[in-house]
Structure 1
Amino acid sequence: MADIAEVTVDNFDTALLKSEGLVMVYYYAIWCKPCLEMAETVQASADDISEKTKTAKVNTDKDDAIVTQQRISTIPAFQVMNNGKPADLI
């Protein structure tokens, strides 16, 4: 099972901005029913792509600063980072 790193304000720079290669970032909240329904799919996707892509998650309730900085307006949301730069938002 692939490890999905929990990203916080404290480790955002090292986990994402200074990360090399691709990182899929999952933005969620524990009260969000669609987010909870996607949890297994996110883990399965992380398992499938773990050889080429890291997976991380951000709890939007705990880390509003990240949400604001990355311009996340709805959840669940997925963001692809490439060498520390946002490549796409889904």
Structure 2
Amino acid sequence: MAMEFTTENFEQEVLNSDVPVLVDFWATWCMPCKMLAPVIEELAEEAHGMYKVGKIDVDASPALAGQFGIMNIPTVLVFKNGQVAGKSVGAVPKSKLLELLQ
């Protein structure tokens, strides 16, 4: 199951992570976000410690969305060593997200 990232745990879980972290910026009212959700959950179940997968509700954590310039959702960012290493906007296939994690 994908983790829920918040302002409180973002630094520890994402920026200080030893493994790549895929972060899905989403909202409950966003239809493309709902289309992407099963893919995000599938990636989370397949992670096996090689990477982390989590979500940020942009309505609940607007400061994090603003910090990373999220203008459209869903936006997926991949963090490696505390830095943004990849970005995808919109509902994309699982293969595209796996590429970002490589």
Alpha-carbon separation, structure 1, partners of 2:56 and 2:47: 18
Cα distance in 2 for residues equivalent to 1:34 and 1:89: 16
- Considering only aligned residues, what root-mean-square deviation do their CA atoms show, in Å? 1.2
Secondary structure of the 1:35 match is helix
What secondary structure, in the 3-state scheme, does the structure 2 residue paired with 1:19 have? coil
Partner Cα distance (2:79, 2:61) in 1: 18
> What is the correspondence of 1:1-90 to structure 2 with a 5 Å cutoff?
3-90=1-88
Give the counterpart letter for 1:31 in structure 2.
Answer: W
Structure 1: 5+ residue runs without aligned partners? none
Q: Name the structure with the higher strand share.
A: 1
Structure 1 stretches of 4+ with a deviation exceeding 4 A read: none
Q: Give the Cα separation in 2 of the matches to 1:51 and 1:18.
A: 15
The number of equivalent residue pairs is: 88
- The letter for the 2-side match of 1:41 is V
- 3-state DSSP of counterpart to 2:29: coil
Indicate the percent of aligned positions where both proteins have the same amino acid: 31
5+ residue gaps, structure 2: 89-102
